[in-house]
Chain A
């Protein structure tokens, strides 16, 4: 275990080498929040309620989902495909390391770094946007911290890792990854809460893994788990996490057989 903690530490120092890069990344995130925030503010205009949301509830959703995104979606494992293609995966394979753990801990390092920075931004954004966010019930908060967010993080990690493994078969991994990003924007709940969609579509989406990455955790925070329910949502997150874990294991086993350690 100590080796992975040291890895996270060195990954941290490595991340800090490109300070400007990192700061620009954070600026981008802040801007994207402001865009979504002002867009929704404009949509509401004079209306007090739309799609079953009050103005304040909607803006709180945008705000909280943004915080959850920066935890769940920030990752280093996005480099995995590139490293398979360049042959640098060999550096991990020839060492007593598990590739799955390697990237997980690099992701953790990335996430903590991002979280640390977002604390300051949060205070700043809170001051200028002044969203009205009710403090969630302690039970919900506890569930989020110990179960829902860790599971969402793990689920996204496996999905992301699976896309990285495509690198074993093709160097063209950006197209499928871009598709994933677009899908996430629409069906994970990062642009809008999913319960503004038609009920039929919602029912379908509830069976996919995507709502459990951002939408579901955000709703727990806001205390509106809706028709999935807390237990149902956690159960489905767990099921999808296990399914993706098994797929990842299987695909890795196949991929490693065709790995050709290229680059020479």
Chain B
């Protein structure tokens, strides 16, 4: 039985359109033109309990809109959504008590007070019993290592410390479903890793179902087994991260080291040269022929070392997006 079911979800925003210029501004006072923006356009997916899923896509792809619909903030234009058996937009308190939404660029902590005060307020809002509150708070504080900052005004914390406290505030009621929208945005590499480790740990320890959106492929690579790629409001891929590579990567990357110099042309016939700087060279070869080409290389050229790799996931995703656009352009022509 899936915990989250989304069927044919569509969300349009009404946008008020205005041409630049004073005359147009005056005109818009009288007659406003509106047009619909399809933020999410007919998407469907299911998520099982305890899954940790990564949503990726460029800015404005519809990731955040999807999370907002799932957390009950937005009313869907059409489609059926069920989370934990509830329709999110009704905002049943029984649902809200089991759910949490964290937005990397928004804060819920009271800016002028120590984080501790916001925690106590959340404890009361979610009606968490005293002993459970103490236990969970201690665990979270321990895991995130923020013991020393709980009594400092939130406005005086660093971004990293604040994000950690934001996470604690969002998790005090031990939500079964957690929506994380860009939780690592703006953080430095060390802090990103700390966040990532924490999310993984939390998912494992509490069996929480988590949807995560991020711009950073590293987040998704480290955390999510299953990835949903969204672009222009549509799901263009839903499956294991590894399957993206199988499906979309056309090349493998061969990194070579040579023991003798030789003319560049001799290497060119094996594949496309990415870089060439004796004694190192990097070439791209068609995926299926990778091992065959490598064998030939070893036979014909003075190879000292060879390494076969998949292309970086970022490059593949970029291809997925640009491919998507090309297809769209084609279908428009027809």
Contacts and interface: CB of A to CB of B under 8 A. Distances in A.
B326 to A, nearest CB: 29
Nearest to B96: A96
Given A90-B73, A91-B108, A95-B125, 15 more contacts: A3-B121, A6-B124, A10-B113, A10-B120, A94-B101, A95-B126, A96-B93, A96-B96, A96-B97, A96-B126, A96-B127, A257-B75, A264-B64, A264-B105, A264-B106
Contact of A261 (B73, B96, B126): B73
A45 interface: no
A13 B113 contact: yes
Residue from A6, A10, A17, A260 with most neighbouring chain B CB atoms (10 Å):
A260
Interface string B90-118: 01010011011101011010101100011
Interface string B43-86: 00000000000000000000010001001111100000000000
Contact of B101 (A90, A257, A263): A90
B276 interface: no
B71 to A, nearest CB: 5
B13 interface: yes
A183 interface: no
Contacts of B101: 90, 94
A259 B73 contact: yes
A221 B286 CA distance: 91
A8 B133 CA distance: 21
Task: Sort A-B residue pairs by CB-CB distance and give the 10 closest, nearest first.
Answer: A96-B93, A6-B124, A3-B124, A17-B112, A261-B73, A91-B108, A96-B96, A3-B125, A94-B101, A257-B75
A6 B120 contact: yes
Interface string A143-187: 000000000000000000000000000000000000000000000
Contacts of B118: 10
Contact of A14 (B93, B97, B99, B113): B113
Given A256-B75, A260-B74, A94 B96 contact: yes
A94 B126 contact: no
A3 B127 contact: yes
B3 to A, nearest CB: 18
Say whether chain B's binding surface is mostly helix, strand, loop, or mixed: mixed
Interface of B: 13-14, 64, 68, 71-75, 91, 93, 96-97, 99-101, 103, 105-106, 108, 110, 112-113, 117-118, 120-122, 124-127, 181
B282 to A, nearest CB: 39
Contacts of A90: 68, 73, 101, 103, 106
A14 B110 contact: yes
A142 B285 CA distance: 90
Interface residues of A, number: 26
Contact of B99 (A94, A256, A258): A94
A93 B106 contact: no
Contacts of A258: 14
A93 B112 contact: no
A88 interface: yes
Nearest to B110: A14
A10 B68 CA distance: 27
B100 A94 contact: yes
A6 B121 CA distance: 6
21 contacts: A2-B124, A3-B125, A6-B120, A6-B124, A6-B125, A7-B121, A7-B124, A10-B118, A10-B121, A13-B113, A13-B117, A90-B106, A91-B108, A93-B73, A94-B100, A94-B101, A95-B122, A256-B75, A259-B75, A260-B74, A261-B73
Contacts of B97: 96
A144 to B, nearest CB: 32
Residue from A88, A90, A94, A263 with most neighbouring chain B CB atoms (10 Å):
A94
A87 interface: yes
A239 interface: no
A97 interface: yes
Contacts of A94: 71-73, 96, 99-101
Contact of A264 (B93, B99, B103): B103
Interface string A75-113: 000000000000110110111110000000000000000
Residue from A10, A88, A257 with most neighbouring chain B CB atoms (10 Å):
A10
Contacts of A18: 112
A258 B14 CA distance: 9
A10 B91 contact: no
A259 B125 contact: no
Contacts of B105: 263-264
B96 A95 contact: yes
